[in-house]
Structures are given as C-alpha cells and as structure tokens.
Amino acid sequence: MLGELLIPAGFVLALDQASKKLILERFGQAPRSQPPIGWKPRLRPLLSKTLAHGFVRDRHTLLLLWSLAAVGTILLICYAPPLQSWTARVGLGAALGGATGNLIDQLRRGAVLDFIDLRIWPVFNLADTFIVVGLGVALWSIR
C-alpha cells in the first residue's frame, strides 16, 4: 500500500532534481532576471528565495511543516477510505515527491529553482506541476 505512495514520490523527486540539474548545467547559476518581452513559452531559470511564498520564516519551520505533511499523507492513506484507491495513493505520492524536491532545493540552495516560463503564469518547475497534478488526481479519484 505505501509502495504506491513511495514509488511515485521517488520517481517525481528524481525527475525534478534531474531537470533542475540539467537547467543549471545549461544556464549556469540562476539569476533573478526581469520578465522577458513576448509571448512564446521558454526556459528561464529563476531562484525563488521566499520560503513557502513568505508564510514561513526559517528552514526549520519549513522542514517541520513538510514532516507533518508527509506523516499526514501516510495517515490519510492508511485510515481514510476515500484515499485508499490506487489512483489517490499515486496522486498523493506524486505531490509528496514534488514537495520533497522543492524542500531539497530550499535546504541545499536557500531557494527553489524555477525555470518553466509560460509568460502568462509565474515561473514554476516540475515539482510544482506534480504537486498540483498529483493533488488534482487524488481529489478526482474520491468523487
């Protein structure tokens, strides 16, 4: 049962960290740059230094909140019948993997590396995508 949570989490974490490594190798250190002009989506590395969008003041608090979210996710999967489906567990695993990827960035670099710039949305990364999609899949599965 927990394998259906941990395997997607590990896969997403590995994919997220590999994508960030490739972006840093291609572009070097991510500068904070001005938004580009135009409409075409592109890769644009950007370091986001605010912890949890400014709601968290230090790394220890962020680590504590992540730990609570991880334990809470495991408890929900074990004890909440609507979230015990395979689809819900995989979705929650993907979201947990994405959250872990951003946490690792924050602890390692002091900032999260974002690089997908659609120009109509704030710059984001694969971890952010998996958090949103994973939670969406989990919620969709309980309908």
Question: Would you name the residues annotated as active-site residues?
Answer: 114, 128
Amino acid residing at 98: G
Contact 16, 127 (CB under 8 A): yes
Half-sphere exposure of 73 (CA within 13 A, CB side): 28
Q: Which amino acid is at 39?
A: W
Tracing tokens 């872990």 back to the chain, one arrives at 100
